[in-house]
Every structure is written in C-alpha cells, then in structure tokens.
Amino acid sequence: EVQLVESGGGLVQPGGSLRLSCAASGFIFSNYWMHWVRQPPGKGLVWVSRSNSDGSSTSYADAVKGRFTISRDNAKNTLYLQMNSLRAEDTGVYYCARAAGFIGRDYYYYALDVWGQGTTVTVSS
Amino acid sequence: DIQMTQSPSSLSASVGDRVTITCRASQSISSYLNWYQQKPGKAPKFLIYGASSLHSGVPSRFSGSGSGTDFTLTISSLQPEDFATYYCQQSYSIPRSFGQGTKLEIK
C-alpha cells in the first residue's frame, strides 16, 4: 500500500524550531518529487515547499523562505522539513504529498496524488 | 506569483443536484490545473489533473473544464459522500498556489 506518514509536530514557543518527518512506503521514494503543504486552523491549503527526487533542487513559499529547509534521505525513504524561527502564523496541520506525473491530452501534468494524514504544529507561548 | 480565486466560497445543495465550482487564475496557466476534495479532519484527495482528466478511481459524475484563466469543476448528480471542501491548484509555476476552497454543504 502506498503510504505517507508524518511525525514530529507539537507545541513550540515562538522563535523555536521543529523538524517534521514524512516516512514513505509502498513506492520507490527516490523516483518522486515531494511537497509540503500546510493548513492553518479553519483555513485552506497553503503550499510550503518542494524537493526534487534527489534533494538537489528545492523551492519555498515566500512566507517560509530562509526559515524552513526541506530535505530528504532516499536511503531511509523519508522527507523532512526543518522549521526554524517559528511564528504564530506557522501554526497548522502540515501534510507531505507525493508529486506524480500524468500524461494528458497535450502535456505532461504534475499533481499531488498521495497525501499523508498530517501532523499538527502549534506555535504559541 | 499566480493567485487562484474560487467561487463561491460556500454552496448549499441537495443530493441529486448538479453543482459547478469556478476557479480563476490571475494569469494564464494553460491547462495546468488540479482539483482536490477534502473532508473534515482528513487529508486532501486528488480528483482531477490537466483541468479535465479524472484521476484513477474518481467517479465519472465529477468533471472539469477550462483553460487559460477560467476553470470549472462540475458534479453532475451530488451524492452524500460529495459534501466536502474542494480546492483548485495550479501546477504551472512555483509557488504551487491553491484556491481558498469551496465548501459544499447539504441543503
């Protein structure tokens, strides 16, 4: 069964750090780009970051650039999100998701086809 | 950055109704548009890619259309399990922005 399981969430004070993990199973992890998406309480989905298949290329949302670092260990089938200088507005559920490619009518499309169950991060004093 | 705007933000409908949700991009994204469904307390579920192609296992009552800046998600005959929040997402450029969501509620 294809599965993503996040862990590492919790309560942290403003300015603190946290590292999230996402353990992948049931597919060849090293073949896929991976993303982090978060959801503030009662609000919508917000894209956070992505990593290419070997971790050599990464991208970030402006809101987290310079504070968050995405990385992966393909030998351990695990994706990470190191979060530093945390702020109250970073509070929410953090999902990891697999990016898969699909052949469409005219182009090759990418979508987040497998999601973890999410891990909750609360930044509060 | 590309902004994605969905309308309406919420919608009340009955089982058997046909409903349409709209998603508009702030600039042309060709057909690089995905749709997801999310139920309370659950992770999002992938529905549609390339604006109109159904992901494997998604019921045929779901359909998508559009290109450029304007897109729609249509559910032809609502079933009880379809009451959820729906999100569009562009896969044209980074950041991979989502719409704010459309909450579909039972009338």
B94's torsion region: left (phi>0), alpha (psi -120 to 50) or beta?
Answer: beta
pLDDT digit string, tens, across residues B17-36: 999 999 999 999 999 999 99
Residues A111-124: what's their mean pLDDT?
Answer: 98
Closest by CA to B49, choosing from B92, B94, B83, B4, is B92
Nearest to A104 among B50, B97, B100 (CB): B50
Nearest to A46 among B34, B94, B98 (CB): B98
| Alpha-carbon gap, residue A39 to A96, rounded angstroms | 11
Interface test with A, best of B7, B49, B98, B102 (most A CBs within 10 A): B49
Q: In this structure, what token pair is assigned to residue B98?
A: 């989502």
| Alpha-carbon gap, residue A12 to A35, rounded angstroms | 23
Asked if pLDDT for residue A75 goes beyond 80, the answer is: yes
Residues β-bridged to residue A78: A23, A73
Give the sheet arrangement for strand B70-75, strand by strand.
B4-7, B19-25, B70-75, B62-67
Eight-state DSSP code of residue B27: S
pLDDT of residue B86: 98
| Alpha-carbon gap, residue B102 to B21, rounded angstroms | 7
Asked if pLDDT for residue A41 goes beyond 80, the answer is: yes
By DSSP bridging, strand B19-25 and strand B4-7 are: antiparallel
pLDDT of residue A66: 98
pLDDT of residue A106: 76
Is residue A114 a contact partner of residue A97, using CB atoms and an 8 Å limit? Answer: yes
Closest by CA to B38, choosing from A88, A95, A60, A8, is A95
Closest by CA to B88, choosing from B36, B44, B43, is B36
Return the amino acid letter for A11: L
Across the A:B interface, residue pairs with CB atoms under 8 Å apart total 80
Is residue B11 a contact partner of residue B102, using CB atoms and an 8 Å limit? Answer: yes
Asked if pLDDT for residue B3 goes beyond 80, the answer is: yes
Beta carbons within 8 Å of A11's beta carbon, 6+ residues apart: A122, A124
pLDDT digit string, tens, across residues B36-87: 999 999 999 999 999 999 999 999 999 999 999 999 999 999 999 999 999 9
Phi, psi for residue B102 in degrees, rounded to 5:
-125, 120
pLDDT digit string, tens, across residues A77-102: 999 999 999 999 999 999 999 999 99
Return the amino acid letter for A38: R
pLDDT digit string, tens, across residues A2-25: 999 999 999 999 999 999 999 999
Residues 85-104 of B with CB under 8 A from A: 85, 87, 89, 91, 94-101
| Residues of chain A positioned with their CB less than 8 A from the CB of B44 | 37, 45, 95, 97, 112, 115
Alpha-helix residue ranges (DSSP H) falling in A62-115: none
Asked if pLDDT for residue A105 goes beyond 80, the answer is: no
C-alpha distance from B50 to closest chain A C-alpha (Å): 6
pLDDT of residue A40: 98
| Residues of chain B positioned with their CB less than 8 A from the CB of A112 | 34, 36, 44, 46, 89
pLDDT of residue B27: 98
Asked if pLDDT for residue A107 goes beyond 90, the answer is: no
Other C-beta atoms closer than 10 Å to the C-beta of B86 total 25
